[in-house]
Structure 1
Amino acid sequence: MTETAQRKQQIEARLKELGVRLQRIEDVLDDTDLSDLEDQTIEWEDDEVQAGIGRANLREAQALTAALNRIAKGTYGTCISCGEQIADERLDAIPYANQCRYCAGASSAEV
């Protein structure tokens, strides 16, 4: 199996895992017990945390889907800024990376 095929499987597995997590979060957010005011306040705070986690998971899922699209186009592993290959170590850590570490560092330094 090629390295790209392995990465594709890894990305697809992570997307599946995120789908399960997102469903759990949705279930938690849909489950409301409005017994008393104190419990409601705690539940609302918990819901806020869960919603934040859900948003982060959605962003990751979008980035992973974009990575699958780059695999399909044959551009996966190529930096979108400089056109150089993204290091395998970076892709191991961040399979949806679309910039090499130098360009990603330069982008974050500009902010």
Structure 2
Amino acid sequence: MQMKSVETRKSELETRRAQLVARMKQVDTELDSHDEKDWDDAAVEQEQDEVLEDLGEAAQAELRSIEAAFARIEEGEYGFCVTCGERIDEARLDLLPATPFCSTHAPGAKVRQQ
């Protein structure tokens, strides 16, 4: 597998950031657009709002990860695990381009048997 350049990864992160910002604007627009008609409609809208708020919070968390990845790019540390310093596998970066961890040190990674 050929390694992608840091510039290619940066471009992918910029694209994803733009998608997240657009999604957050849509969520805000949807949250602001409700006209409560009656109690039943209000209850349904509240449930939908909770889902939208969760989506917005997830987008904000991913944006923070992307901004941290941009900082690592500027520092020349992108693509290396912040815990052990080893290079992060290309396949992992393909799936999670903003990740700061190798698969061994990712949160929730199983401890390997020795």
When normalised by structure 2's length, the TM-score is: 0.90
Q: Distance in 1 between matches of 2:90 and 2:42?
A: 47
2:34 equivalent in structure 1: 32
Give 1:92's aligned amino acid: D
Supply the RMSD in Å over aligned alpha carbons. 1.3
* Percent identity between the two aligned chains: 35
* 4+ runs deviating over 6 angstroms: none
Q: Which structure carries more helix by proportion?
A: 1
Residue 59 of structure 1: which of 55, 58, 61 is its match?
Answer: 61
TM-score, normalised to structure 1's length?
A: 0.92
2:104 alignment partner, SS class? helix
- 1:92 corresponds in structure 2 to 94
**Counterpart of 2:97 in 1: which secondary structure?**
coil
Deviations along 1:56-103, whole A, 9 cap, x unmatched?
011001101110110011000110111100011110110011010011
5+ residue gaps, structure 2, are none
Q: How many residues align?
A: 107
